[in-house]
Amino acid sequence: MSQYFADFDKVKFEGPESTNPLAFRHYDANKVVLGKTMAEHLRFAACYWHNFCWNGFDIFGEGTFDRPWFKAGSEMDVAKAKADVAFDLFTKLGVNYYSFHDVDVAPGGNSIREYKENMAVMMDVLAKKQEETGMKLMWGTANAFSHKRYMSGAGSNPNPEIFAYAAAQVFTAMNATKALGGENYVLWGGREGYETLLNTDLRQEREQLGRFFQMVVEHKHKIGFKGTLLIEPKPAEPTKHQYDYDTATVYGFLKQFGLEDEVKVNIEVNHATLAGHSFHHEIATAISLGLFGSIDANRGDAQLGWDTDQFPNSVEEWTPVMYDILRSGGFTTGGLMFDTKLRRQSIDAADFFHGHVGGMDTCALALEKAAALIESEELSKKVAERYAGWSGDFGKAIMTGDHSLESIANYAFDNNIDPQHVSGQQELLENIVNKHIFK
């Protein structure tokens, strides 16, 4: 089965002038940028699910991908075949990490006990694959949204036994993630929301979810998992409204249940735009709240109102994002995980490579442009100038609590202050960014 990609060599860096569609033009893993290699900055990962589990089906049509591993025989034979071909692709792409849902890599079986047994077998398979290839696990997670039992949610489900089933999956997937050396564990509430308020008790469901996450945190410490717990925000689809709508909503949820120091966010680009935000906004918000963890690197389509999970292709969108990430210290346990899928018409084996190569080059070029912006200090100096008053004695006294509302009012009256508005220089700053992107 690993022969599926036999005609492809490992993707190499050939430089900006290369015309080879199966070579990197900008991603040079060993190139040093601001003191670290590109590989260390970007920490690329590929996903298991879209690449090896999806058959090209959508709600209007049958699957278009005639993948040989779908025909491997029993469910366990299929799982092992997927592992063979997956690690071959990961290795040839030159990504250092991969990510999975539990049922991506192991069959769910006909019972919770079969699920547990299948996971145990496949964890041994994945451990061997990691040892053979040097691949590492960016994160694991549990799929508690696809099966019909989860049609009304998992942690937020009205039935406590469905809550328990989801808990058993998360328990198993977390243990597997730790055993495989995973650097993060993601909690994505694919159906943790509501479709109508007519049958929904918002307080009850929110408290259930809060307790669920508290138990996850407790288990993390019990088993000694040193990785980062991540929540992945999403506003809607498939539900009308999800409880993890965006980063700010997640922060409020974490504060309510005392988890703000235990969990960070895994931001998906397409989820940010579906929430009515820019990708940049969600990253900046997460950084400002101390919640930034990792990124699902993809994009949506501005003319489609759902989660299309396309490969990133805009250096213009990614440069300001990489600028903020670099200025905040960069990734720690997180990275850029391609939660991306080929278009239904992209049915050739080569399309796997074209999508990932283009996405990796986009992020790498944005990294270089962002580094140049940082080194020029053009933006940082403008921002510092804009807020300079808050570094003075009066501004500091306000923020440290030395002033009351009355004392500030008296200051204004006594000094007859007459502050003047000044330009925010947005157009100039946009031109500065473009100057670096297009040079």
Give residue-wise pLDDT tens across range 284-308: 999 999 999 999 999 999 999 889 9
Stretch (H or E) spanning 184: strand 184-187
Residues in the chain: 439
Q: Is residue 353 classed as helix, strand or coil in its secondary structure?
A: helix
For residues 118 and 25, what is the distance between their CA atoms, to the nearest angstrom?
41
The whole-angstrom separation of Cα 145 and Cα 189 is 7
**Rounded Cα distance, 137 and 182, in Å:** 5
Q: Record the tokens describing residue 157, joined without a space.
A: 């489900």
**Pairing between β-strand 184-187 and β-strand 136-141 as defined by DSSP bridges:** parallel
Tokens of 280: 């940049």
| Segments in the chain below pLDDT 50 | none
- What is the pLDDT at residue 2? 65
Amino acid at 224: G
* pTM flag (> 0.75): yes
CB 188 within 8 A of CB 263: no
Position 439 scores a pLDDT of: 84
Q: What residues contact 210, with CB distance under 8 A and at least 6 apart?
A: 253, 256, 257, 259
pLDDT score recorded for residue 79? 97
Q: How far apart, in Å, are the Cα atoms of 316 and each of 106, 307, 313, 376?
A: 39, 21, 9, 18
Residues tagged active-site: 101, 104
How far, in Å, CA of 190 to CA of 103, rounded?
A: 14
Q: Any residues with CB less than 8 A from the CB of 121 and at least 6 apart, and which? A: 76, 106
Neighbours of 77 (CB within 10 A): 13
- The Cα–Cα gap between 309 and 322 comes to 20
DSSP category for residue 312: P
Say if residues 228 and 332 touch (Cβ distance below 8 Å).
Answer: yes
Picking from 142, 140, 171, 166, the residue whose alpha carbon sits closest to that of residue 153 is 166
SS3 148: helix
Find, among 37, 130, 123, 140, the residue nearest to 91 by Cα: 130
Task: Give the type of residue at 177.
Answer: T
**Of 255, 269, 341, 331, residue with least CA distance to 298:** 269
As given in the structure block, the two tokens for residue 324 are: 């903020």
Three-class secondary structure of residue 81 per DSSP: helix
Residue identified by tokens 């009515």 is 276
b vs e for 403-415, b when ≥16 Cβ sit within 10 Å of the residue's Cβ? eeeeeeeeeeeee
| CA 368 to chain CA mean position, Å | 21
Radius of gyration of the CA atoms of the chain, in A: 24
pLDDT at 380: 97
Instruction: Tell me the one-letter amino acid at 92.
Output: K
Q: Which of 367, 366, 371, 293 is nearest to 335 (CA)?
A: 293
Nearest to 228 by CA among 152, 138, 115, 121: 138
Burial class (CB in 10 A: 0-12, 13-18, 19+), 166: buried
What local confidence, expressed as pLDDT, does residue 205 receive?
Answer: 98
